[in-house]
Amino acid sequence: MDNLLNIDRLNKTQVEELIYLASSLKKDFPNINPVNPLQKKIILFLFLEPSTRTKTSFNFACSILGANVIDISPMTSSMTKGESFENTLKTLGSYPADALVLRSDENHHIDVAQNLLDFPVINAGSGTKSHPTQTLADLMTLKEQGLSIEKLKISIVGDIEHSRVARSLIEALNFFGSKINICAPEYFKPTDLSNISYFEDLSEAIKDVDVLMTLRIQKERIKKSKINFNEYSNKYMITGKIMNEFNINYLMHPGPVNEGIEIDRGLQDSSKSLILEQVKNGTWIRCAVLLKILLDGKS
């Protein structure tokens, strides 16, 4: 692996290897051998959108592996003085860094970065299209429950149209042949996805599935919101009653969670919720990605 730009640039074997490595690191921690495998490596972070989970887990991963982090804050960078994304990247490319971890609201920025930089680029979430490390953490979480991804039946509910998490997950699940339902009101229905079954009606979408993943409404990506949140929640908010009535064993959400909108208050703490497992596994997946890119290179 020489970059991680999008999940579809990996193959099924690479996905499985990354999850295997992440699981081994999780099991071995704190006795990771060798100690500090990324000592003397310097990782640049450029997060142009807010992040709690992804940024913190990349930070933890670098700390666990002994790499140094240089975090470029957009608010105190010269981007606030009008420097373009391209020129910012050319500037960052002049430093002796070993990798860039990039989050951006623009779909094309990740490819621009890869074209401009001589060192590896790792996607920490780009626009509405791609969030590969979230997908790897989600697949690891499902495997930990003993679920077969090949036989998985999952329903993804919510703002699919603006969700990079949903797009990357669907791309990866398609490697494995999982059965994927998506459920959204017409205004969140995507037009660019294949090998999925679309339902507007929640009860149709969640019949006979093992896992339900619900998504946040991405208000920051919706230009003119015509959404009535009460109406949305009345139709699509996931409750404990729904989980029990439809006999669904696992609830996932990539976070951040808006309780009382897409998910009932308290449900993320229920025994069916894998939400904090997704967060925990994020650290180990990001360790695995950094190791594969920085130590294994193109192997």
Output 4 or 199, the one with its CB closest to ligand CP: 4
CA distance 33 to 30: 9
CA-wise closest residue to 238 among 208, 258, 210: 258
Q: Please pick, from the candidates 255, 261, 273, 287, the single residue that binds ligand CP as defined by CB under 6 A.
A: 255
Q: Which stretch binds ligand CP (CB under 6 A): 46-54, 183-191, 225-233, 235-243?
A: 46-54
Output the smallest distance, CB 277 to ligand CP, in A.
Answer: 13
- Does residue 219 touch ligand CP according to CB under 6 A? no
Tokens 């190791």 label which residue? 291
Give the number of other Cβ atoms within 10 Å of residue 54's Cβ.
Answer: 25
Handedness of CA 150, 213, 244, 201 (dihedral sign): negative
CA distance 212 to 157: 7
Output the smallest distance, CB 214 to ligand CP, in A.
Answer: 13
Binding mask 109-148 for ligand CP (x = CB under 6 A): ----------------x--------x--------------
Q: Which stretch binds ligand CP (CB under 6 A): 38-46, 92-100, 248-256, 290-298?
A: 248-256
Angle CA(36)–CA(40)–CA(42) in degrees, nearest 5? 110
CA distance 7 to 14: 10
Which runs of E-coded beta strand occur in the chain? 42-47, 68-72, 99-104, 121-126, 153-157, 179-183, 197-199, 211-214, 250-252
- Does residue 158 touch ligand CP according to CB under 6 A? no
- Does residue 256 touch ligand CP according to CB under 6 A? yes
- Does residue 53 touch ligand CP according to CB under 6 A? yes
Output 120 or 125, the one with its CB closest to ligand CP: 125
Count residues binding ligand CP (CB under 6 A).
9
Binding interface with ligand CP (CB under 6 A) = 51-54, 125, 134, 254-256
